[in-house]
Structure 1
């Protein structure tokens, strides 16, 4: 068994997320993106060695080990074994191209980050390393703010520790 961090972004959950709580078994479509610094700092990231398999008629690849199945939309390789670092993302708005992953929810944290504004524009960017967490027993995005109110800080979703079998 392994525990992997899964980010459920607020807009994905608010749109069509199903409630869950610690101890529940869930089945999710997972994605891996190669730029983990945009989301969470190193202490929250996982490192895994996974098999990589090309997907016919797709630019992406299938990462897998045991019951863990992940779509990698921008792979650096299409066959063999790769070590990945970061967090996985739950995806609800695209057709599954790899099997979904089933696992047990071990921990749920509401996550917020500071954001900075491009002066003179409506564009905001996440500031890596500014995460703040609030422990939750069940899913939800309406918990108390995880930090003192400050300009440019808002929630981005939940970070879930998901236990899966890798054999």
Structure 2
């Protein structure tokens, strides 16, 4: 058995998810997303890749490691694009019900061993006219069950955001998912 960290974004749960509890068996389509500066809990997956041409989405890759299957939307390292060549990719494993090709990907099945509610810090960036996640501003709280709804509203009401405005928001759950090795 292998234990993997999987992020389940709040918006994914609110849209199409079913709440789950510690000890439940779940089956999810997963993506291994290229890491961003604010990402933590990255996974390194090593195994063969398969090329997928997804209608209207272009080329994607599926990497497999034991019973784990994950979509990799990025580039595969040069010289490693043959199905039989194992590759080593590092990124954030996340539940992906809306990305390129999740309906074509066999879901990964495992047992939930731990659930942590993720609260992230955001700061308004006037150059982007949007709130950006602040690297390192993240808090985890262990919970027995994943909520269906998350507190993600900005606290500034109807006024326009100003440079430097910041807030904390529940952004999803981090799951320890136990998956069979083979």
State the TM-score bracket (shorter-chain normalisation). Answer: 0.7 to 0.9
Deviations 1:59-98 (A, max 9, x none): 1111002211111111324332222223211012354222
Task: Identify which of 145, 149, 167 aligns with 1:152.
Answer: 167
Structure 1 residues 125-136: aligned runs within 5 Å: 125-136=132-143
Query: How far is 1:56 from its partner?
Result: 4.4
Structure 1 residues 6-155: aligned runs within 5 Å: 6-40=6-40, 44-56=41-53, 58-77=58-77, 78-79=81-82, 80-94=85-99, 95-119=102-126, 122-140=129-147, 151-155=166-170
Contact 1:68 1:164 in 2 (8 A): yes
Alpha-carbon distance in structure 2 between the residues aligned to 1:151 and 1:37: 18
Query: How far is 1:121 from its partner?
Result: 6.3
Which protein shows a greater Rg?
A: 2
Query: How far is 1:37 from its partner?
Result: 3.1
Contact 1:36 1:85 in 2 (8 A): no
Give the gaps of 5 or more residues in structure 2. Answer: 152-164
Query: How far is 1:101 from its partner?
Result: 0.5
SS of equivalent to 2:118: strand
Deviations 1:112-157 (A, max 9, x none): 111111137640111122210010111116689xxxxx94211111
SS of equivalent to 2:47: strand
The aligned residue for residue 178 of structure 2 is 163
Say how many residue pairs are matched.
Answer: 160
Give the gaps of 5 or more residues in structure 1. Answer: 145-149
Change (3 A) 1:116 1:75: same
SS of equivalent to 1:13: helix
